[in-house]
Chain A
């Protein structure tokens, strides 16, 4: 599980950087709001996660997630 969380963290971080978030700002406690990551970014992130880990997140799943760490935990728990 630890390895998998690490993999998820890597994929999520890479995606957020690609979306335009500042690499130094991407920490587990950072909120998506603070990173200027919006619903369109999260929809794209859901696609990437599905491709990488086969985890299908609905917009309702994603709506409750506020921080990078919460997203990583949610994805890892479904994996």
Chain B
């Protein structure tokens, strides 16, 4: 997770703590809400089931009472042969005596009550004006085809009818309990069907009865018949007109249809019926009437059930938010007081960065990490002050030494002949030399001068090592070389002399390699001696040859060392090229040496060229090769071109 940038550590820490705390709080609230709901649902289920079952039980008791009376009555009619008057009195007594019973009749099969009377069914029912009498056996009310008569006859069993509107009878919505009775056979066994005894229960009365059963403010109830028809309903217009299934079809709800089937199939149940019924999201508990297969449902609105915990949740959330705001304020103040020394340190750092090292952090007196940081910071400023002072002194000292060294380097260079052409009046030879020092002051040297009109003396040398010691050694060598060569002795004598002088008390073990030559300008004869120096190259007309290995060791090491005199003849147009190892041992960035092979290659190309041209070409080749690799050693070259005596 990428956090946004904060300008203050205090705000950042506080916000992070707040986010964490709020998250935990929200989780706790959500969990307790969930658990509370579960508990409430469980309790509600228990309560609703109990309620539905107890109401159903009460209703059934009423219905059962009706059924018992009717059954007893039927038994009476079956066994006792009553005349018309007594029958009517009995029926009337049943209706007036029983509160539950709206109306009652005894309906006979044709011609079984009186041989001449086809239909006989005296009916008494309650009305606002008292108990009324109707003879149902009339042309307008053919009771033989009514369900309440027909069904018990067919089934030979007592039956509760579906609720119906009894037009021409009681003229109310009612349900009828019909109990069949039979002729008595000779042996006392049951004979042929003779008629039914009925008792009507008014749906209105049932509804009132239900209404009187207090269900509580969270629930509403309804009753459906065996067919699912609403006997009482959450909506008045549904009563007797709609069934659970017709409503389910209208709503297109498979769920309601399923609930309806379950209500009529199961003894009791509890389902989350959502908002299928009017009144919103609810639970439904139901219980079936064993006596007639009806089912009573109690609806519990969730909003009412959960109202208490929702209030609790709101209250908790409100308290949580208020607490969070308070916590934020307190944390912010605390965090700011913790980070105050940090801000002070930040200021101090800014001051130090601009060079003001005298910062006072004594106000930060703490034992924690910040205190230790402040102490370390204070120590750092003290150390810094100290180091800066030392550095300033050291820099001054180094600048002085560097200044002196550069003067030394200038002096060193001034000891070497550097004016070219060196002998502009001489046409019989030319000599050219160059010394490119490495970064540090070094120890390469060369020298040349005319011994007399006919002899040119020259030398090139390389002192081991670098720096001031090498430069001093080089200066001594140059001085000794000049004095030794001035006497006109042969080259091996010059080296010999130098060696003796330098070997004495040479505790530092420094040495110099040196090639020394004397060229006879009349004859072209070159006498030379080599003390451990790289063999020079001779550029002849058609080839470049390397002179043989040195005739003696490096100069300044062995006092008893001997140097061999050697000679060769230079023909007009030939050039002797001498150099120090700075040329062949120049490195390129890939750590390769320039090498004698490459030098040889360059010189091959420069055969017959003038001395300055040859030196320039080699210098160019070395620099191109080395690219930007730092120069490790001085590069020194000296070239002598002999033109021959005729040109003098």
Q: Do A and B bind each other?
A: no
Residues of chain A touching chain B, judged by Cβ–Cβ distance below 8 Å, are none
